[in-house]
A = this chain, B = another copy of it.
Amino acid sequence: MDPRPTVVSAPMQLQVADDIRMKIQRGDLKPGDSLPTLGELMEQWSCSMNTARGGIALLKAQGLITAGRGRAPIVRIPPPRVIRSSERHQLEKDQARLPEPDRGAVGEAETNHYMPLHDQEFSSEYDQVEAGDEISAALQIAPTDAVLRRSYDARHRRTGQYLSTSVSYIPLGLISSNPSLLDARNEPWPGGTIHQLSTVGIEIASVIDEVTARMPTTVETQMWNLPDGVPLIFCRRISINTHGHPVEISDALYPADRTELRFVTPLQPWT
């Protein structure tokens, strides 16, 4: 019944961390405020510097504070959230039938990232590879079948902060009849993926988004310059054609501290 295995007091690291966390939650410490230094914590808790450090490390792992050499740690300032709404899917499909000048407003950036183009700077890269086990299963093709792989990185235009990376896969057989779809120099494509697929006779009937989250690896942390304790939201988008077959999948990663995914589900009215 007692959650504690024995009747020992909580580790001192935990006490240090909990004390500071309560101060943050109560509002005694506000975002941007600097925390007590390790020296002060040593004295306050009569513990060694490494123990105080352990408490700070806990709070970092929970994403509550940011720390760096030579500067006292500060209470994390939550960055503004980018909202990526599923209503983009329908919007993009509507625009895909417009003539070119009107289509220009929507590009692949919006397809993958649900946000206006002008706020983000993004780079793309195309290549052609074998599907492999995981992708082929999702696209219902053979693992040795070739796919067009398109990789995108998006960062905030002003701050340079990373907003997303995504990788899209399309069976090469579906689109090889239109060679201009295979060339990264045509990015950003006016009208996005839904229009691209329409040029080879494909209509997207529905989109499935599969969402989960995980912690970044060491490489992702330093590549994206992520603060500690920030998870990545993983979203696999599967585009289904009018025959019920998947024709494109897109794996996207979003830093959770600056991303909110929004999904709108209209329901059939009662008669």
> How many copies altogether?
2
A97 at the interface (CB under 8 A from B): yes
In this complex, the interface size class of chain A, counting residues with CB under 8 Å from chain B, is 35 or more
Closest approach, in angstroms, between the C-beta of A89 and any C-beta of chain B? 5
CA distance in complex: A208, B264 (Å): 5
Q: Looking at the complex, which of A36-44, A142-150, A153-161, A216-224 is the stretch in contact with chain B?
A: A216-224
Q: Is the interface of A mostly helix, strand, loop or mixed?
A: mixed
A196 at the interface (CB under 8 A from B): no
Known contacts: A21-B218, A259-B212. The answer to whether A264 contacts B205 by CB under 8 A is no
Task: Let me know if A63 and B265 touch, CB within 8 A.
Answer: no
Task: Let me know if B265 and A214 touch, CB within 8 A.
Answer: no
CA distance in complex: A44, B212 (Å): 36
Which residues on the B side are within 8 Å of A18 (C-beta)?
A: 218
A contact set with B: CB distance below 8 Å? 3, 14, 17-18, 21, 58, 61-63, 81, 86, 89-90, 93-94, 97, 203-218, 222-223, 229-233, 242, 256-257, 259-270
